[in-house]
Amino acid sequence: EIVLTQSPGTLSLSPGERATLSCRASQSVSRNYLAWYQQKPDQAPRLLIYGASSRATGIPDRFSGSGSGTDFTLTISRLEPEDFAVYYCQQCGSSPWTFGQGTKVEIK
C-alpha cells in the first residue's frame, strides 16, 4: 500500500499569500496518477488537480500541481478567502487507492 504523507499539517497564511502544500509517497506513484482535492466544512471534497498537474474543469489557474514519482506539490499562487480549507492528495496508480491525511490552510 502506498502511504501518502502530507506536510505541513496546518498552514497559517493571509489572503494574497502563496501556499505550498507537499505530498510525499512511500513509493513511486504509477503514471503520476496523483490528484488533489479541496474540502470545506460539511461539504464533499472537490477535485482540483489530476494527473499531478492537470487542472480539473472550472478550477482557477491560481491552483497548480507539480511533481512526479514520490514528491508532489500543490501551489496556490495567491490565496483568496474561499481557499481556506483542507486539502487532500490521493493516488490511484496502485491498489489500494489511498489518500493523504490532509493539510489545513487556515487564516493567519
User: Looking up cell 492528495, which residue turns up?
Assistant: 89
Pairwise CA distance, residues 90 & 104, whole Å: 15
Q: Which of 25, 38, 98, 105 binds another protein (CB under 8 A)?
A: 98
87/13 Cα distance (integer angstroms): 14
Is 67 near another protein (CB under 8 A)? no
Q: Which is nearer to another protein, 29 or 79 (CB)?
A: 29
Distance CA 94, CA 32 (A): 10
**Least distance (Å) between residue 57 CB and another protein:** 7
Number of helices (H) and strands (E) in the chain: give both, helices first: 0, 11
Number of residues written out for the chain:
108
Select 34 or 76, whichever has its Cβ closest to another protein.
Answer: 34
Q: From the list 33, 64, 70, 73, which residue makes contact with another protein (rule: CB under 8 A)?
A: 33
Distance of closest approach, residue 104 Cβ to another protein, in angstroms: 11
Q: Which is nearer to another protein, 97 or 106 (CB)?
A: 97
